[in-house]
Structure 1
Amino acid sequence: MSFILPEYRAPDFSQARFQTVPDAILRPAPRDGVAPEGYHATTIFPEYFKIGGRWLLAEESRMDCVAVLRGGAVAAVEFRNLKAGEPVVVGRTEDGSEGIYVHAAGFEQPGGEGETFAFRQGRSRETAYSMDYDSIYELLRYEKEHGYIVWVLGPACAFDADARSAFAALVRGGYVNALMAGNALATHDLEAGYLRTALGQDIYTQKSQLNGHYNHIDTLNAVRALGSTAAFVNSGNVKDGILYECVKNQVPYVLVGSVRDDGPLPEVYGNVYEGQNAMREQVKRATTVICMASTLHTVATGNMTPSYRVVDGAVRPVYFYSVDISEFAVNKLRDRGSLSVRTIVTNVQDFIVNVQKGVLAK
């Protein structure tokens, strides 16, 4: 099986129903950070705006933003980044009648309708995921050469020796273009590379070590003493692991903190808006996103990831996976509006090992 990128079918604006619609209405933002009344909120789907008689695609989008005309192009702008006087699109219809058209069916393939009634149409721990795994293997091989793969990891990904080793191999193999996580994932991974424990337990046997509860804060202190994770890795204190491979292979990582963090590591963003900006810089490039075992960071990433990306002038889909052992966790993202997410309910440690074996199999 070889991966083929699905064709995007752009809307046909020559249809009669689009011929008489007016240009989208633009109104100035009344002040910094405030949109005018009746503003249009963007979605995850490709959106076109009729400006000066032409239908313009918002090429970089995210949901829950406002559409702003900047430099002759339509930009999806967070409310907090809106400047007074900027022209903002207003109107709350999405069918083109107000010069705003949301194109949700651009990647749908021609075919008949399914049965009205069928079993097992949801995604749960009983779902068969064999085809999902095979699709992910092929997708990642394709994206290694043609895309930008962003992974979002929770700390569970560093607690198991085999999972940690498998993800490190994916980094070395070129299947990780960027990593996003919190303080915990990075801290426990560095602890494992430094002291062979995670939260004081041996990462293979799970046996608690004497005074092991000090290990993660001893690790944090040692990193902070050297000033950065990269300096700590390059000092030789860390022998292997996820962050080790990111540093050695120059893979960018974005760590955004929370109120419960210890330390934290020097690179952790304490200001959530600065952290969101750093995450979005990676999301803007992403063509595939895989989130594992971190509801907080998964929902955050999902909310800033559109269903499409414009690459070299062509519109292509963004593939988004949410993997967690909790059905609640994977379903929460879909409930928040990220309707294009593909969910897998399984142990993320097993998932990582399976993916590593699958993509690197000869």
Structure 2
Amino acid sequence: MLREHVVMEGHLIDSDILRRAFGRIVEEGGQFEVLEFRVGTSNAEPSYTRLAVLAPEPETLDRILEGLRYLGASTSVDDARFAPAEADGILPDEFYSTTNFDTFVRISGRWEPVLDQRMDCAIVQRGGSPRCVKQGQVLRGEPVALRGSGLRVRPLERSRDYSVFGFMSERISAEVNKGIVIAGVAREMGRARTAGEKIVAVVGPAVIHSGGDVPLGDLIRNGWIDVLLAGNAFAVHDLEKAILRTSLGVCQMSGRGVEGGSRNHLFAINTVNRAGGIAAAVASGLVTSGVMHEAVRARVPFVLAGSIRDDGPLRDVITDVIEAQKAYAGALEGAGLCLMLATALHSIAVGNLLPARVRTVCVDMSESLPIKLSNRGSMQAIGLVTDVGYFLERLAAELKAAEPMRP
């Protein structure tokens, strides 16, 4: 049997890391021996273990060690290996693929943090630092980190503080007390604001259809949202409501469809594009209400990413998907909390761009989307199955009630 020693340190027991490591070894056909194990004597003190990993052939051992590295294990103290990219967008065969957990690379004897942490990227030395770079954006000749030694991942550990992310991180169901959860989200927004972290809202058109645009506009106007990420449809229906008082041709005061209403969103696109875009439409007085109006007035940056199903689109929409991805990534820098509100397409896209340490709240009428997002491997993600309009109304009320305590 081949043998290799690995070391793991952190909150290994209550964060379920050690059980997952043992399971990975056995499932891949290996064996383990616990050579040393020290349990933290308080909730703040980390635990430590040194394991011997055994496997019948080199390929199995390599596969086990690769899996353990993603759980934070280190096998040696050698520097990381790099190889040049063969061409633009072409990586060496042994490239290392990142997770959304904070990662460190050993270079010249020092552990360097990887910048722009996100999943499914290569690690490239660029600008004097290792950073996550999407495969298609790697340039010929750039040094790309290879699998093996000199790479360390820090999995998220379960929070020691009581918060909504503690008791809701593994519970996604319509049968929860939504008021308690929403109050917890409001407290987390207050913590993010105190810490100087961005609060990001990723929104879909259901926010408009459900009436959630009014409380969302209040949140923007009162400084609770720092970045708005959406697609063409959200902005179009918000502007349709602002100009024609309909959404998808349905009157937002009576709830009844209006004659010829199916063209209203196209009329809104045409009118706003003629004005020169969303900001120009607000400045001219064409658009005097709605979420986009509040974002422009409050100077909250927004990014609208296009798709192949878009009508129009609006002039402000980025139709090049690579450029839209870059714009989303740039807007997410410094994010501490992300509200994902009734949009599968953009929520999943943003989830793939965020490091696991960013707390995310996914709200949708279906359980499938929150479950998919919570499976990103983050204990900082919760899902709430409810109407997004109700969620935003309650959230705005909770934040208003807490306003005197806001810094």
Q: TM-score, with normalisation over the residues of structure 1? A: 0.85
How far has the Cα of 1:231 moved from its partner?
1.0
How far has the Cα of 1:127 moved from its partner?
2.8
After superposition, where does 1:11-22 map in structure 2 within 5 Å? 21-22=77-78
Question: Which stretch of structure 1 is more off in the superposition, 39-48 or 333-342?
Answer: 333-342
How far has the Cα of 1:84 moved from its partner?
1.1
* Number of the residue aligned with 1:50: 106
* Number of the residue aligned with 2:397: 357
Distance 1:143 1:258 in 2: 31
* Number of the residue aligned with 1:197: 246
Residues 341 and 388 in structure 2, CA contact (< 8 A), matched pair in contact too: yes
* Number of the residue aligned with 1:326: 366
Larger-Rg structure: 2
Distance 1:330 1:204 in 2: 31
Alignment counterpart, residue 346 of structure 1, candidates 377, 381, 386: 386
Distance 2:320 2:99 in 1: 26
Residues 10 and 106 in structure 1, CA contact (< 8 A), matched pair in contact too: no
SS at structure 2 position matched to 1:140: helix
How far has the Cα of 1:344 moved from its partner?
0.9
Unpaired segments of 5 or more residues in structure 2? 1-43, 52-72, 163-168, 403-407
* Number of the residue aligned with 1:67: 123
State, as a whole percentage, how many aligned pairs show the same letter.
Answer: 34
Alignment counterpart, residue 147 of structure 1, candidates 185, 197, 206: 197
* RMSD value, Cα: 2.6
Distance 2:46 2:128 in 1: 21
Structure-2 change in CA distance of 1:19 and 1:276 (3 Å): closer
The one-letter amino acid of 1:349's match is G
Q: Does 1:109 align with 2:109?
A: no
* Number of the residue aligned with 2:355: 306
Distance 1:65 1:282 in 2: 18
What are the Cα deviations for residues 283-328 of structure 1, in whole angstroms up to 9, with x where unaligned?
12211111111100000000010023xxxxxxxxx11111101011
Distance 1:127 1:110 in 2: 21
What are the Cα deviations for residues 232-286 of structure 1, in whole angstroms up to 9, with x where unaligned?
1122122211000001111111111111111111011111111111111111221
* Number of the residue aligned with 2:151: 100
When the two structures are aligned, how many residues end up with a matched partner? 330
SS at structure 2 position matched to 1:326: coil
Residues 156 and 379 in structure 2, CA contact (< 8 A), matched pair in contact too: no
Distance 1:207 1:335 in 2: 39
SS at structure 1 position matched to 2:335: coil
Kindly indicate whether structure 1 or structure 2 has the higher relative contact order, using CA contacts under 8 Å at least 6 residues apart: 1
Structure-2 change in CA distance of 1:12 and 1:228 (3 Å): farther
Residues 210 and 388 in structure 2, CA contact (< 8 A), matched pair in contact too: no
Distance 1:106 1:54 in 2: 24
Alignment counterpart, residue 260 of structure 1, candidates 309, 321, 335: 309
After superposition, where does 1:217-296 map in structure 2 within 5 Å? 217-296=266-345
Residues 160 and 203 in structure 1, CA contact (< 8 A), matched pair in contact too: no
Distance 1:104 1:10 in 2: 16
User: Between Structure 1 and Structure 2, which shows a larger proportion of strand residues?
Assistant: 2
Structure-2 change in CA distance of 1:209 and 1:46 (3 Å): same
What are the Cα deviations for residues 165-202 of structure 1, in whole angstroms up to 9, with x where unaligned?
11110000001111011111101111111111101111
* Number of the residue aligned with 1:160: 210
Residues 374 and 382 in structure 2, CA contact (< 8 A), matched pair in contact too: no
Q: Does 1:185 align with 2:185?
A: no
Question: Which stretch of structure 1 is more off in the superposition, 145-154 or 166-175?
Answer: 145-154
How far has the Cα of 1:144 moved from its partner?
3.0
Distance 2:46 2:102 in 1: 10
Residues 160 and 204 in structure 1, CA contact (< 8 A), matched pair in contact too: no
Residues 114 and 130 in structure 2, CA contact (< 8 A), matched pair in contact too: yes
How far has the Cα of 1:134 moved from its partner?
1.9
Q: TM-score, with normalisation over the residues of structure 2? A: 0.76
SS at structure 2 position matched to 1:123: coil
